[in-house]
Amino acid sequence: MPEPMLLAYLTNQYGRASDTFVRQEVRQLRNRGHTVQTFSIRRPEPEHSVSDEVREEQAHTEYVLEAGPLRLALAFVACTIRHPGRVARALARAWRTAAPGVKGMLWQAFYVFEAAQLARRIEVLRVEHVHNHIGMNSASVCMLAAVLADVSWSMTVHGPHDFVEPLRWALPEKMQAAAFTVFVAEFGRSQGMWLTPTSLWPKLHVVRCGLDETFRSRAPTPIPAAPRLLFVGRLSPEKGVLLLIEATAKLRREGVRAELVMIGDGPSRGELERAVSNQGLGDAVTLLGWCDSERVRQELMTSRALVLPSFAEGLPIVLLEALALHRPVISTYVAGIPELVEPGKSGFLVAPGSVEELAAAMRSVIEARPDELAALGQRGAARVADRHDAAESARQL
């Protein structure tokens, strides 16, 4: 085992209900003897404080923007006085990686001030290396802070948003500047390879999302008889949530009874609620909002399958959680999902955007015998156990 390090972790918003993978990664690194100080650009909304675990992580996380404009400015001035060469290099990098236009340069100026505050804390804490999750704005701050504090840095690129505008977020330059870049699936690494010269490919690595014993040690529970399906995720356009309502309505018109429980929240919630009302599905669809991990486990175990009809993804950890609990999944041929879900073996994959295929897969789950679904779940659990162990992922990292 390598010598313990003093690490910093940065994300845009840390301590969200959906940050399961990052929390788990931090915990596993601490279990390996490393000291990990978590930082976040901004504090999550109050609705994300769903459990003691999440609230504890928030309590021990430093939020950069909460320093306030004056302290951010003073941190930059202090850094300029103490390390003018580093500041010059950081400003040059900020200029090279700015998005086009005046707005892009203005945002880079904000990132420089945020980076100065982060660098000050890195120096005070004597952090040896800083790792960032998500390749967008927080990665810009991380990259600049590493220059200002003269430490190494790295990042995990999840997708899909990182890849929507990779040049705006200067992903090629970030991958070149970072000590290494991690992707959560082979698909993600292929996008990194597409954006970089072959000379940088050795710095691009796949470290798969992992689960700890909280999920992997659970004994399988019987598949329920109720025609109940579960969605877990952000209620946002890329998750395809409105298709779930259309598919549920289609099944009802065909005489198939389906119950849909949805955990999560987000910008599509209002539109989703209107769709449920317009389709007359108030008795079939339940919106629970964000829930803690234990509630997610309970809802998975009382459902026949997890359904996630995403248009764009990285590799959703909720798919791992469902399979680990011996529940088959319905999802789409998108990004890293086919690297996990084997059609006919551990679940169903459908064409993204197809209500017909989605409804057909939901119908198959609802009408399947419990032993058939249990067999799918068992094979899925074996695949997760083989490829997605959190302790092993932390060792690789």
Q: How many CA atoms lie within 13 A of 222 on its CB side?
A: 5
State the amino acid at position 71 in one-letter form: R
| pLDDT recorded at residue 19 | 86
User: Which of 124, 135, 3, 131 lies closest to 67, judged by CA?
Assistant: 124
- The answer to whether the CB of 143 falls within 8 A of the CB of 178 is yes
Taking only the tens place, the pLDDT of each residue in 234-267 is 999 999 999 999 999 999 999 999 999 999 999 9
**For range 143-151, the mean pLDDT:** 98
Band (215; pLDDT cuts 50, 70, 90): confident
**Using one digit for the tens of pLDDT, what is the confidence trace for 335-373?**
999 999 999 999 999 999 999 999 999 999 999 999 999
**What is the pLDDT at residue 213?**
78
Summary count for the chain: helices (H), strands (E): 17, 13
pLDDT for res 252? 97
pLDDT at residue 38 greater than cutoff 90:
yes
CA distance 392 to 397: 9
Number of Cβ within a 10 Å radius of residue 10: 27
pLDDT given for residue 1 in this prediction:
66
Rounded to whole angstroms, how far apart are CA atoms 256 and 196? 49
Determine the CATH number of domain 217-387.
Answer: 3.40.50.2000
Phi, psi at 386, each rounded to 5°: -80, -35
pLDDT value of residue 49: 87
Q: Domain 6-207: give its CATH code.
A: 3.40.50.2000
pLDDT, average across residues 30-37:
96
Average pLDDT over residues 22-29: 94
* One-character DSSP codes across 168-224: TTTHHHHHHHSS-EEESSHHHHHHHHHHS-GGGGGGEEE----B-HHHHTPPP-PPP
HSE-CB at 103 with a 13 A cutoff on CA atoms is 1
Q: Which residues of 330-351 are buried (b: 16+ CB within 10 A; e: fewer)?
A: bbbebbbbbbbbeeeebbbbbe
Give the mean model confidence (pLDDT) for residues 261-287: 97
Average pLDDT over residues 268-285: 97
Q: What is the pLDDT of residues 74-130, one digit of tens each?
A: 999 999 999 999 999 999 999 999 999 999 999 999 999 999 999 999 999 999 999
| Helix or strand holding residue 228 (H, E) | strand 228-232
Asked if residue 231 lies in contact with residue 244, where contact means CB atoms within 8 angstroms, the answer is yes
Q: What is the mean pLDDT of the chain?
A: 95
Point out which residues pair with 50 in neighbouring strands: none
Chain center to CA of 298: 21
Q: What is the pLDDT of residue 88?
A: 98
Pinpoint the residues of the chain covered by CATH 3.40.50.2000: 6-207, 217-387
**Tokens, residue 194:** 């597409």
d(CA 231, CA 229): 7
Torsion of CA 153, 115, 170, 156, to 10 degrees: 40
